[in-house]
Amino acid sequence: MAETEKSVHQASTESVSSDNVDIPTLAIATRRLVRKTDLIVMPGLALAYFTHTLDRANLGNAKTDGLEKDLGLVMNIPWTIAAKRFNPAVVMPAIIALWGICTLGASATKEMAVRTSIFFQMGFIAGAVSGLISWSVFQWHGKLKGWQYLFIIEGALTIGISVLLFFALPRSVQKCRWFSEEEKRIAIARLQEDSQDQDKIFRWSDVKKQLLHGPTWVFAFLALMHGVGLASSSNFLPTLIKRLTIDSTTANLYTIGPNLTASVVLLTTTYFSDRYQQRAYAACITLFVSLIAWVLLGCLDLVNSVKVGYFLTFLITFGTFTPGLLVPVWLSSNVSTTTGRAVALGLSYMAQNLGGVISSLVFRNEDAPIYKPALITVACCQGVFIVACLALRRYFAQLNRKIDSGVIPFADGMGKRPEYRYAV
């Protein structure tokens, strides 16, 4: 992807050439823009994702404290969808949309994985914090149940942060008073480098074209497959760890280690994914580790091998979450219009949420405490993901070879950027 990165720098130079800025000065200004955007936008949006994941993690932790028994539930409702529907932080969709606008405006596609990873770290930290809070409040002996205190504390935290971010977050780089006019021009140029759709107008023709584009549905299928494991790890990790200890309160404390380890591994993986511009291989390697762990978790006698079982939860956590970050970044890099990108990402996230529904349905109470059918289902979905992901990578690699040999003049929608190559 070195050729692509070179073209990106050339495009930025041409976009601001009217200001007679030399290349070294432009490079310094660009780095300053990226650092400033990170400092202004990332902390607030990381907090937004932190509260979102914190609320979702509550469900798995609350189950270990008798949530289903107290409410008289006899089956697992698709709690992932319910959490998204009734989340008290009603501004979350707007916050996530702002994150997409702001970070895309200041980060080229080759930078997206690491920055998305930094944002995504808060999900793991939220899982660890939720486990720690759960371990504490489940030992309280007040008028309410432990899981009720958990919901009150973390729900209040979510509402407070959502109100703060509504007033604190900038709507875009162009409308933010903390950026200079030069920085705003550079931000616009960087965004235009990754899209032919310069005027950013919504077009139904682009929607139709994207829906008829085969890889769009392959990406959605990939999201569905890895979404099953992602939701299973997120919502049922405390339940799985409960197999390893008699004390349900201790089970929540044990979720801290896997979440913090996954945070470090995810950041490292995405760094190398950006450096070598390899999305599919990075996603498949980490998910393969997770696949093995899910299989072993269902097959081994963990009653007599508690330490082995706990180690497997570390592998599951970091391996399952990495594709959930890399696949959307990969998708975004290979769609030329903003409308098409919105359609493709929308389908992808919808499919990922459907994976959460599947996860909720396969983790049945009658299969407790091993949940063997559910573990097998997750492993099968991850195996299918790996096969489909590698096939899609080969498809894009073949297109790049055809462009290099002149069989295809340029990538679809990239007539003004013939040097562009698809991300793999």
- Tell if the pTM clears 0.75, that is, is over it: no
Q: What is the mean pLDDT of residues 140-147?
A: 80
Task: Identify the weakest region by mean pLDDT among 73-77, 174-178, 215-219, 274-278.
Answer: 73-77
- Tell whether the model's pLDDT for residue 130 goes beyond 90: no
Q: Of the spans 64-68, 235-239, 246-250, 372-376, which averages the highest pLDDT?
A: 372-376
Residue 171, amino acid: R
Q: Which residue has the higher pLDDT, 407 or 114?
A: 407
The helix/strand/coil state of 323 is helix
Question: What confidence category does residue 57 fall into, taking pLDDT thresholds of 50, 70 and 90?
Answer: low
User: Contact 273/385 with Cβ under 8 angstroms?
Assistant: no
Dist CA 298 CA 318 (whole Å): 18
More confident residue, 384 or 175: 384
What secondary structure does DSSP assign to 282-313, as a single string? HHHHHHHHHHHHHHHHHHS-TTS-HHHHHHHH
Q: Which residue matches tokens 């003004």? A: 416
**Structural domain spans, the chain:** 2-197+204-405
Give the whole-angstrom CA distance, residue 9 versus residue 190: 9
On whether the CB atoms of residues 126 and 51 are closer than 8 A, the answer is yes
Local structure of residue 17 (DSSP, 8 states): G
Phi first, then psi: give them for residue 87, nearest 5 degrees: -55, 130
Q: What is the mean pLDDT of the chain?
A: 77
Residue 247's pLDDT is what? 66
**Given this model, what pLDDT does residue 21 score?**
53
Q: How confident is the model at residue 65 (pLDDT cuts 50, 70, 90)?
A: low
> Between 336 and 280, whose confidence is greater?
280
Within 10 angstroms of residue 375's Cβ, the number of other Cβ atoms is: 24
Structure tokens at 43: 């902390």
Token duo for residue 104: 């895309």
Range of lowest pLDDT (57-66, 144-153, 155-164, 389-398): 57-66
Measure CA 282 to chain center: 14
More confident residue, 126 or 404: 404
Per-position DSSP letters for 397-410, written without gaps between them: HHHHHHHHHTSSSS
pLDDT value of position 385:
98
**Residues 78, 360 contacting (CB under 8 angstroms):** yes
- pLDDT for the residue numbered 93: 46
Of 79, 72, 73, nearest to 58 by C-alpha is 79
Q: Which residue has the higher pLDDT, 104 or 388?
A: 388
pLDDT band at 109 (very low <50, low <70, confident <90, very high): low
Report yes or no: 415 and 196 within 8 Å, Cβ to Cβ. yes
Task: Report residue 200 as tokens.
Answer: 């950013």
> Which range (21-25, 32-36, 263-267, 270-274) has the least confidence?
21-25
DSSP letter for each residue of 88-117: S-TTHHHHHHHHHHHHHHH--GGGHHHHHH
Output 59 or 132, whichever has higher pLDDT. Answer: 132
pLDDT at 95: 42
- Highest mean pLDDT, choosing among 59-63, 113-117, 211-215, 241-245: 211-215
Fold of the CATH domain 2-197+204-405: Growth Hormone; Chain: A; (1.20.1250)
142 or 87, higher pLDDT: 142
Q: What's the rounded mean pLDDT across residues 370-395?
A: 94
| Average pLDDT, integer, range 393-417 | 89
Coil vs helix vs strand at 67? helix
The structure tokens 């319910």 sit at 82
Among 115-124, 305-314, 401-410, which stretch is predicted with the lowest mean pLDDT? Answer: 115-124
How much is the pLDDT for 257?
Answer: 85
345-339-216 Cα angle (round to 5): 40
- Reported as a pLDDT band with limits 50, 70 and 90, residue 92 is very low
Q: What secondary structure, in 3-state letters, does 208-260 show?
A: HHHHCCHHHHHHHHHHHHHHHHHHHHHHHHHHHHHHHCCCHHHHHHCCHHHHH
CA distance 192 to 200: 10
- In total, the chain counts a number of residues equal to 424
Is a pLDDT exceeding 50 seen at residue 96? no
Q: What is the pLDDT of residue 191?
A: 67
Determine what percent of the chain is predicted with pLDDT higher than 70.
Answer: 73
More confident residue, 87 or 338: 338
Q: Which one is predicted more confidently, 406 or 2?
A: 406
The first and second tokens of residue 238, run together, are: 């405390």
Who has greater pLDDT, 79 or 417? 417
